[in-house]
Structures are given as C-alpha cells and as structure tokens.
Amino acid sequence: MLCFAHIGAALTLSLLLPLPAFAQDALNSGDTAWIIAATALVLFMTLPGLALFYAGLVRSQAVLSVVMQCFAIACLSSILWLVAGYSLAFGDSIAGWVGGLDKAFFSGVTSDVLSGSIPEIVFAMFQMAFAVITPALIVGAYPERMKFSAVLWMSSLWLLLVYAPVCHWVWGGGWLSEMGVMDFAGGIVVHATAGVSAIVIAMMLGARRGFPEQVRPPHNPGMTATGAAMLWVGWYGFNGGSQLAADGGAGMAIATTHIAAATAAIAWMAIEWIKFGKPSLVGAVTGVIAGLATVTPASGFIGPMGGLILGFTAGIVCFYAVQIVKFSLKIDDSLDVFAVHGVGGIIGSLLVSVLALAVFGGGGLAEGQTVIGQLGVQALGVGVTLVWSAGFTFLILKVTGALTGGLRVTEEQEIEGLDIAFHGESGYDLGR
C-alpha cells in the first residue's frame, strides 16, 4: 500500500491537478482528516461490524462468545501492534522478510513525524485497524467449539508470525513490494492470509457437533445483515483510506469498492433464486462481503468497469467455493472465511493485473510492466503467502494446543453453548 498506493496516488494526481507545491513533503490537513476518519471506519468494521456479522450466524447460545472473541482479539492485536507488530511490518527491513524492532512501542513515531503527507502516527493507527480486523476475520472458522484461551494464544501468535511479516513483504518495503506486487488494500495481506489460515484451523479443530446435517441455522440474520452493512460502510475507509490521501484516487477506490459489492450481492441473489427458488438475506449480504474482499487488492488500481467485473466474478465463484468447502470437502469452516475472504482475495489479487489496464478504465501497470509479468508477480505473492500462512498456522495451533491442553471445548460445553460455559453470560433474557 505504502509503495503502490503512492504510485497510484502519483498516477492519479500527476500533471492534471495543480498540486500545492508542498504536497508530498508537508502535512496535508485534508489527507490527514480523511485518514483519521478512515481509521475510525476500519475500526468500525471490526467493532461492531464483523462481530455482529458473525454473531448473527451462530446459535443463540454462542452469540456472546463470538462478540467476545472479536473484542478480545481487537484489544490484544492493538497492544501487540504497538509493542512489536508495527515495527515488524514497517521497521527497517531485514533482508526484505521482516521489519526490525526499531519502531517497537511506536518509538520515533511522534506526532510531528510525517509519512508522506500525513503524520506517521495516523498511518500507524490506520495500519493498526488492519491488524485488528485480520485475525478477527478468522473467528468465522472456529465458532462454538474453540477454547477462549486457545483463541487468544493463537490469534496473538498469528498476528506476529503471519500477519506482520506478510504485511512487511507487501507494504513495508519487503521483497514483494520490491518486485512490484499490487495489493492496494489487502487482498494478499488481509484476505489470503486469513482465508487459508481459517481452513487449516477448521481442519485441525474438527467440525461442530452434528455438522453438516444437524447444525442450527443462523439465529439472527438481521444481526448479520446489520454487521454486513457496517462492514460495507467501513470498507470505504479500508479501501479509500489505503490511498493515504483525500483525492480522486481515493474517490475512485470507493467507487470500485461500492460497485463490486453491489454487483456481487446481485449475482449471489440471482444464483440462489435460480438454484433454490428464493434469494435469502444471508446470501445477499454474503455476496456483499465477497465482492468487497475481492475488490480490495484492486480497488485503487482499476476503474468502475473493473469493479463490475470483479463483483460479478466474486458473487459466482465465492458462492460455489462455499458449496465445495462445506459439502464436497466437508470442512466446517463454519462461517466460510476461506470461501468468501480467501477465495475472493486471491481472485482479486490475480485479476488486478488485467483489470488495472487502461482499456478496463484502470490506472495502468507500473512503468514497463506487462500483464503476464505482473500476473507472475501476483501469483508468486499469493502462492508464497498461502504456504507461509498455512504452515505457520499449523505450527501455531500445535503450540497453542500444547499450551491450553487441547484446542477444543468438551461436548457438554459445546451443547450448553460457549456463552454460559466460557463467559458465564446468556445472550437474550427476554422473558418476564
């Protein structure tokens, strides 16, 4: 993002707009205003957005446990980001693979240091919001059956061993950014990492009791839709903010983002209508999220047309990905993190090499880069990221299991529900 969004911004702003001379070397209050607002929007995506989106999809006896997991992960990730994560991702690069500890505890990130046209502290907080939501996305893989202590251990290790390094590769000046990988807002860094890790966890943890025939339907689809709507709104900050400026590039990013979300939702609805005779709300909002995840890596590099194409592709491919994972592979990635986020992020990360072309209304590829060349870089980036994420997630789970005496709750706890079993609370007391 750092690197590419800036090229993006450059491409965008260059020439045509009479730029205030000091644009890149002084504080731009407009850019700063937008990125602070964008940071709030991205935090809003996780809390309460993602929490509600996921919580509505589980049994009513586990609604609080899902919200709790999102909150706890958000808090832990924030602290870890301050302590080491930011530095591992954006500190001085160690051979292009990970950042050093020179920025641990935000050292040197005082309020008067700039990063581009905005204060670095604003950039660091914007990035913190990304570090908060990415491990929280994985919550969808293991609801209703993972020990809370295991959730905390795993998520913490994951942030440091998977998210931070990959973030460094792509946005922190690491080897992938050196190669010119295009990932505007996190198709590789956020969705590919979370998606593949989700599958690994689901497989190692095992399915929910009674999966697939006997699991209960979503207990509160309206809550899920509310969360999805918040995610959609917040995504303006996620993708639009990744431009790191308040300009036409940011505007185009929200345009492509919005169009992809809308198109994917319609595609998903259409499939359900044809296949099942009824379009469902849960289906429609799942389509929205699929479109948003898919357009993320491309949002700032493409045009409205690209948004339409990515959205349409996302709606169809992710729908079938869900069916394959759940019903062919019989993997209980309970809330479809891989099928929706993983698959979406990967599709977007690859297709951007084509859709960024001017013919599709995109901003074009980097100077002298070809579609094939770019596609190669993207494929390499995605591939290495998948392997790294899957591998470390496997190790992390082994360690976590050892630390917590097994990852999984007892059958009694699963039947009673995690809300009472692990948090001593019940979700709804609506009686007299």
Partner 1 sequence: MKLVIAVIKPHKLDPVREALTEIGVSGLTASEVKGFGRQKGHTEIYRGAEYTVAFLPKVKIELVIPDDLVERTMETIRQTAETGQIGDGKIFVLDVERAMRIRTGEIGEEAL
In the bound state with partner 1, the residue whose beta carbon lies nearer, of 247 and 336, is 336
If one asks whether residue 336 binds partner 1 (CB under 8 A), the answer comes out as: yes
If one asks whether residue 79 binds a copy of itself (CB under 8 A), the answer comes out as: yes
Please name which of 392, 374, 385, 31 lies closest in space to residue 186, comparing C-alpha atoms: 385
Question: Running DSSP on this structure, what letter comes out for residue 277?
Answer: S
If one asks whether residue 1 binds a copy of itself (CB under 8 A), the answer comes out as: no
If one asks whether residue 30 binds a copy of itself (CB under 8 A), the answer comes out as: yes
Q: Distance (Å, rounded) from C-alpha 128 to C-alpha 135? A: 12
Angle at 326 between CA 321 and CA 330, to 5 degrees: 130
- CB atoms near residue 101 (< 10 Å): 15
Residue 408, classed as helix, strand or coil, is strand
Instruction: Say if residue 48 is preceded by a cis peptide, omega within 30 of 0.
Output: yes
The rounded Cα 314 to chain-centroid distance in angstroms is: 15
Q: Answer for the pair 235, 45: CB distance below 8 angstroms, yes or no.
A: yes
If one asks whether residue 262 binds a copy of itself (CB under 8 A), the answer comes out as: yes
If one asks whether residue 12 binds a copy of itself (CB under 8 A), the answer comes out as: yes
371-404 vs 164-171: helix axis angle to the nearest 10?
160
If one asks whether residue 206 binds a copy of itself (CB under 8 A), the answer comes out as: no
**Minimum distance from residue 260 beta carbon to a copy of itself (Å):** 10
CA dihedral 218→70→134→95, nearest 10 degrees, is -150
The stretch among 194-202, 321-329, 341-349, 390-398 that binds partner 1 (CB under 8 A) is 321-329
Name the binder of 326 from partner 1, a copy of itself, none, CB < 5-8 A by kind.
partner 1
Q: Distance (Å, rounded) from C-alpha 253 to C-alpha 118? A: 19
Q: Distance (Å, rounded) from C-alpha 298 to C-alpha 314? A: 13
The stretch among 59-67, 95-103, 159-167, 190-198 that binds a copy of itself (CB under 8 A) is 59-67
Q: Distance (Å, rounded) from C-alpha 369 to C-alpha 339? A: 31
Q: Distance (Å, rounded) from C-alpha 390 to C-alpha 229? A: 30
Q: Which two tokens stand for residue 91?
A: 């500190």
In sign, the C-alpha dihedral spanning 306, 307, 310, 311 is: negative
In the bound state with partner 1, the residue whose beta carbon lies nearer, of 197 and 286, is 286
Q: Which two tokens stand for residue 374?
A: 């770019």
Element housing 118 (H / E): strand 118-119
Which residue from 274, 278, 367, 368 is in contact with partner 1, where contact means CB under 8 A? 278
Which residue from 10, 96, 101, 106 is in contact with a copy of itself, where contact means CB under 8 A? 106
If one asks whether residue 291 binds partner 1 (CB under 8 A), the answer comes out as: no
Which residue from 18, 217, 368, 405 is in contact with partner 1, where contact means CB under 8 A? 217
If one asks whether residue 415 binds partner 1 (CB under 8 A), the answer comes out as: yes
The stretch among 147-155, 177-185, 209-217, 309-317 that binds partner 1 (CB under 8 A) is 209-217
If one asks whether residue 140 binds partner 1 (CB under 8 A), the answer comes out as: no
Q: Which two tokens stand for residue 8?
A: 């993006």
Which parts of 117-146 interact with a copy of itself (CB under 8 A)? 118-119, 121-122, 124-125, 128
Contacts of 299 (CB under 8 A, 6+ apart): 184, 185, 239, 240, 242, 253, 254, 256, 257, 260, 307
The stretch among 183-191, 210-218, 291-299, 352-360 that binds partner 1 (CB under 8 A) is 210-218
Which residue from 14, 107, 110, 323 is in contact with partner 1, where contact means CB under 8 A? 323
The stretch among 73-81, 276-284, 354-362, 366-374 that binds partner 1 (CB under 8 A) is 276-284
- Helix then strand then coil, in percent of the chain rounded to 5, is 70, 0, 30
If one asks whether residue 322 binds partner 1 (CB under 8 A), the answer comes out as: yes
Which amino acid is present at 272?
E
Determine whether 48 is exposed, middle or buried from the number of CB atoms within 10 Å of its CB (0-12, 13-18, 19+).
Answer: middle
Name the binder of 30 from partner 1, a copy of itself, none, CB < 5-8 A by kind.
a copy of itself
Name the binder of 215 from partner 1, a copy of itself, none, CB < 5-8 A by kind.
partner 1
Which residue from 189, 285, 292, 356 is in contact with a copy of itself, where contact means CB under 8 A? 285
If one asks whether residue 431 binds partner 1 (CB under 8 A), the answer comes out as: yes
Name the binder of 10 from partner 1, a copy of itself, none, CB < 5-8 A by kind.
none
Number of shown-chain residues binding partner 1 (CB under 8 A) = 26
Which residue from 65, 326, 348, 407 is in contact with partner 1, where contact means CB under 8 A? 326
Which amino acid is present at 399?
V
**Minimum distance from residue 39 beta carbon to partner 1 (Å):** 30
If one asks whether residue 247 binds a copy of itself (CB under 8 A), the answer comes out as: yes
- Integer-rounded Cα radius of gyration of the chain: 21
If one asks whether residue 214 binds partner 1 (CB under 8 A), the answer comes out as: yes
Binding positions for partner 1, rule: CB under 8 A: 212, 214-218, 272, 276, 278, 280, 282-283, 286, 319, 322-323, 326-327, 336, 415, 420, 424-426, 431-432
